[in-house]
Copies of this chain bind each other. A is one copy, B any other.
């Protein structure tokens, strides 16, 4: 890797990326939207909360898949659209995936979705309840019809996140094996697939770190962002405090061809729950990034994150500053 080159995002330009400049009194590398929470818990009639959701540019505007827990506290995935990335229209009813095999189609719950454009399809992955949590996989070509594929892994697994292109000619996914409850441990692994159905070549990527904001478990967040310096992985880490958990956000740079090799990884967190909508809600003290929009022209990055498992927030950074921060504060 040529360290002399300036970092740049290998993606499309996105001139309409949602954006607010950093407030003058803010010194941190990531800053929150003044409009937070941009999606309130009751945006749609059926919802108890809307959070841990993912958006993507679509036809010059934006589309997204949203975790909306209803007032029965069932965890469902809903579709939504937005002109500007701030104001969202979300369907009141969850997505119904089309699937031939009834054995897997009637999944018990679906939550924490991610979405990525790969070839000509928009792939969606989520935590899917099939005899325990595992990684559900589906796709849509038009955000009208969604097709469900096979679950990627055996239970118990969460936070399955696809890479936005094939690596070594194969589909690639990060995930976090866990257990059948609210797992108090968790490492990130890498797996490959020739066909989006069968997965193998599992490699260990990242473990929690003692005495840190990421001491209990870690899990991939948004789709990794390709740069000329490596894959930018924004992820969450969890600390067990004297009275519960704290979910924060960090980042790492992964090797482009061997993404299980970590080039840099932030020792400090990028953002921790400090705003009242992050500290209070159905799950206190949670900042949980699931999606990022990027503009390759300006290097701007807009991160959508769940706050307190209740609402959705938006935060900003730019690739130069973030990369600088990651490098300078790497473990």
Contacts and interface: CB of A to CB of B under 8 A. Distances in A.
Contact of A154 (B75, B202, B243): B202
Contacts of A150: 200-202
Interface string A201-217: 11110010001110100
Interface of A: 27, 41, 45, 48, 70-75, 103, 108-109, 129-132, 134, 150-157, 175, 177-180, 182-183, 185, 187, 189, 191-195, 197-204, 207, 211-213, 215, 239-246, 248, 267-269, 272, 274, 276, 279-286, 309
Given A132-B177, A280-B284, A284-B285, 13 more contacts: A71-B272, A72-B213, A72-B269, A73-B213, A75-B211, A108-B211, A130-B204, A150-B202, A151-B200, A154-B154, A182-B242, A244-B244, A272-B282
B71 A286 contact: no
**Chain A interface SS verdict (over half):** loop
Given A212-B72, A242-B182, A200 B193 contact: yes
Nearest to A285: B243
Report copies per complex: 6
A151 B280 contact: no
Contact of A212 (B74, B180, B267): B74
Nearest to A156: B177
Contacts of A267: 72
B272 A131 contact: no
Contacts of A132: 177, 187
A201 to B, nearest CB: 6
Contacts of A200: 150-152, 193, 197-199
A93 to B, nearest CB: 15
A198 B195 CA distance: 9
Contacts of A73: 211-213, 215, 239, 248, 269
Contacts of A285: 243, 282, 284
A280 B279 contact: yes
B45 A27 contact: yes
A300 to B, nearest CB: 23
A198 B201 CA distance: 7
Contacts of A239: 73
Contacts of A157: 154
A120 B228 CA distance: 46
A151 B45 contact: no
Contacts of A178: 179
Contacts of A185: 180
B201 A199 contact: no
Q: Which of A129, A207, A241, A274 has the most CB of B within 10 A?
A: A241
27 contacts: A41-B274, A48-B269, A48-B272, A72-B267, A73-B239, A129-B211, A130-B202, A131-B187, A131-B189, A132-B177, A132-B187, A134-B202, A150-B201, A154-B189, A155-B177, A156-B156, A156-B177, A179-B180, A182-B242, A241-B283, A242-B245, A243-B283, A243-B284, A244-B244, A272-B282, A280-B280, A284-B284
- Among A48, A134, A239, A243, the one with the most B-chain Cβ atoms within 10 Å of its Cβ is A243
